[in-house]
């Protein structure tokens, strides 16, 4: 094993990248509080300046950059953060995540067009509705593990889409049109002077949600993403995150150490669903009309790809992964019909170089290396008359 490390150029490249990302990881872990806040602040300023034309002309020569930043880029990032709770933290494989995105989207469409509710009200209701549907799906199915759970969630995603397709009340295959935009908060315009012009946001009305300008939607998405990050990060560092990690590592041992595993798995499902639902509400409020084919299985697969590509379980990695998965196909739009081929090739190459993801959490990386825990694994069984023998062989 060690010999090939020295001779195989691919392994050497992997190793080089790993030690680089690990050194950043370590530096971050030991960085003082103020230094972290400086980095956070810089990232926020960068995110605010991101829709500027100068950046857009390089990043997105074919499509309107701010709209692209809102969806798919921002949308995928939000969805990936939500899916990461389920897949990366609690270690359950969910192949039907798009269902919650759809429920949020249809929630916005129905309450907005049929009941005349405002976006802000629907955002709250849509999040609750999605969380509830996550609990309804999870309650009977979370006794399943690994592959079996994946199949059930896959089915759930299809059920939601088919239901939308066949239910006339919500428009059947024609979907719902005329979905209202969020009400404009204020007409306030960012002053058109030196500093703001320099970062390219002079003259923008950041709180006026119209049909033309994508920037206000992007900023709204940015706020949601930041809220989601803070929420998820806090959970991760608490009893809840520890419970998830212990479930992922050894569900039976966790239960025997007093972790109510079912409750915490359900919580992970509900939180993932709620975040997905928020994404759906946002998406529908900008898109004006939605149809069932906006919510295909391939979207679930893409978000999962984003999570795995970026580094399951590690938020910065997951965000980076979602960004790439959303951005690359748009950036190479000029290749026309070769676009998907090239995109697929890029994903394959990235996974060859970084099988554990671009920025994995150390713990997940170790788990993948030893092939235990996480997605697809059936979880070890408690030693008993039947399984003890197998266990002893391993020790």
Q: Which is nearer to another protein, 15 or 391 (CB)?
A: 391
User: Hey, is 290 helix, strand or coil?
Assistant: strand
257 near another protein (CB under 8 A): yes
Per-residue mark of binding to another protein, 371-390 (x: CB under 8 A): -xx------x-xxxxx-x--
Per-residue mark of binding to another protein, 205-244 (x: CB under 8 A): --------------------------x--xx--xxxxxx-
> Minimum distance from CB of 30 to another protein (Å)?
12
Interface residue with another protein among 128, 190, 226, 253 (CB under 8 A) is 253
> Minimum distance from CB of 239 to another protein (Å)?
5
Distance CA 82, CA 76 (A): 10
47 near another protein (CB under 8 A): no
By CB under 8 A, the count of residues binding another protein is 43
64 near another protein (CB under 8 A): no
Distance CA 395, CA 391 (A): 7
Q: Which is nearer to another protein, 258 or 334 (CB)?
A: 258
> Minimum distance from CB of 175 to another protein (Å)?
34
Give the CA-trace dihedral at 188, 215, 281, 307, to 10 degrees.
Answer: -140
145 near another protein (CB under 8 A): no
Distance CA 306, CA 90 (A): 17
Find the binding residues for another protein in span 67-96 (CB under 8 A). Answer: none
In the structure encoding, which two tokens stand for residue 10, read together?
A: 């691919």
394 near another protein (CB under 8 A): yes
> Minimum distance from CB of 170 to another protein (Å)?
31
Q: Which is nearer to another protein, 8 or 238 (CB)?
A: 238
In the structure encoding, which two tokens stand for residue 48, read together?
A: 């605010």
> Minimum distance from CB of 2 to another protein (Å)?
19
254 near another protein (CB under 8 A): yes
Q: What angle do CA 187, 191, 192 make, to 5 degrees?
A: 120
Would you say 361 and 311 are in contact if contact means Cβ atoms under 8 Å apart?
Answer: yes
Find the binding residues for another protein in span 337-366 (CB under 8 A). Answer: 363-364, 366
CB-side neighbour CA atoms (13 Å) of 284: 35
Q: Which is nearer to another protein, 14 or 362 (CB)?
A: 362
* Class of residue 268 by CB neighbours under 10 A (exposed 0-12, middle 13-18, buried 19+): buried
Q: Which is nearer to another protein, 242 or 339 (CB)?
A: 242
392 near another protein (CB under 8 A): yes
Q: Which is nearer to another protein, 46 or 227 (CB)?
A: 227
132 near another protein (CB under 8 A): no
Q: Which is nearer to another protein, 53 or 395 (CB)?
A: 395
Per-residue mark of binding to another protein, 304-343 (x: CB under 8 A): ----------------------------------------
Strand partners, 156: none
CA distance between the termini of the chain: 22
Radius of gyration, alpha carbons of the chain: 22
Token pair 């050497």 in the structure block, residue? 12
Helices marked H in the chain — which ranges?
2-7, 9-30, 33-49, 53-59, 65-68, 75-84, 98-114, 119-141, 146-166, 194-198, 215-236, 239-249, 251-256, 261-287, 297-310, 315-331, 339-353, 362-370, 388-394
CB-side neighbour CA atoms (13 Å) of 227: 11
Interface residue with another protein among 271, 287, 325, 350 (CB under 8 A) is 271
Cα 71 to chain centroid distance, Å, stands at 13
Can you give the binding site for another protein, defined by CB under 8 A?
231, 234-235, 238-243, 245-246, 249-250, 252-261, 267, 271, 363-364, 366-367, 370, 372-373, 380, 382-386, 388, 391-392, 394-395
């Amino acid at each position: 094993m060690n010999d090939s490390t020295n001779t195989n150029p691919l392994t050497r490249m992997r190793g080089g990248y790993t030690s680089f990302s690990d050194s950043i990881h370590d530096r971050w872990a030991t960085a003082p509080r103020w230094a972290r806040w400086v980095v956070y602040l810089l990232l926020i300023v960068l995110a605010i300046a991101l829709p500027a034309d100068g950046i857009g002309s390089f990043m997105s020569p074919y499509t309107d950059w701010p709209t692209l930043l809102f969806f798919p880029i921002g949308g995928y990032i939000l969805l990936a953060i939500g899916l990461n709770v389920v897949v990366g933290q609690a270690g359950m494989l969910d192949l039907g995540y798009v269902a919650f995105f759809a429920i949020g989207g249809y929630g916005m469409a129905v309450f907005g067009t049929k009941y005349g509710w405002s976006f802000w009200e629907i955002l709250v209701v849509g999040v609750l509705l999605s969380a509830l549907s996550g609990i309804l799906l999870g309650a009977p199915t979370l006794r399943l593990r690994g592959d079996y759970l994946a199949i059930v969630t896959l089915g759930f995603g299809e059920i939601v889409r088919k239901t939308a397709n066949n239910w006339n009340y919500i428009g059947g295959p024609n979907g719902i049109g005329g979905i209202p935009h969020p009400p404009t908060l204020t007409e306030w315009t960012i002053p058109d002077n030196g500093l703001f012009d320099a970062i390219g946001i002079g003259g923008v009305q950041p709180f006026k949600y119209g049909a033309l300008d994508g920037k206000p939607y992007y900023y709204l998405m940015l706020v949601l993403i930041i809220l989601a990050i803070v929420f998820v990060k806090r959970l991760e560092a608490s009893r809840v995150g520890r419970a998830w990690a212990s479930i992922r590592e050894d569900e039976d041992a966790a239960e025997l150490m007093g972790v109510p595993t079912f409750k915490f798995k359900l919580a992970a499902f509900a939180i993932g669903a709620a975040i997905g639902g928020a994404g759906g509400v946002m998406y529908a409020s900008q898109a004006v009309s939605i149809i069932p084919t906006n919510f295909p299985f391939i979207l679930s697969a893409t978000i999962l790809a984003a999570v795995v590509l970026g580094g399951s379980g590690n938020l910065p990695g997951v965000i980076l992964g979602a960004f790439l998965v959303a951005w690359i196909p748009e950036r190479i739009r000029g290749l026309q019909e070769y676009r998907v081929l090239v995109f697929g090739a890029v994903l394959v190459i990235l996974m060859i170089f970084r099988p554990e993801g671009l920025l994995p959490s150390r713990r997940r990386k170790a788990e993948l290396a030893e092939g235990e825990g996480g997605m697809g694994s059936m979880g070890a069984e408690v030693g008993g008359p039947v399984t003890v023998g197998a266990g002893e062989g391993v020790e």
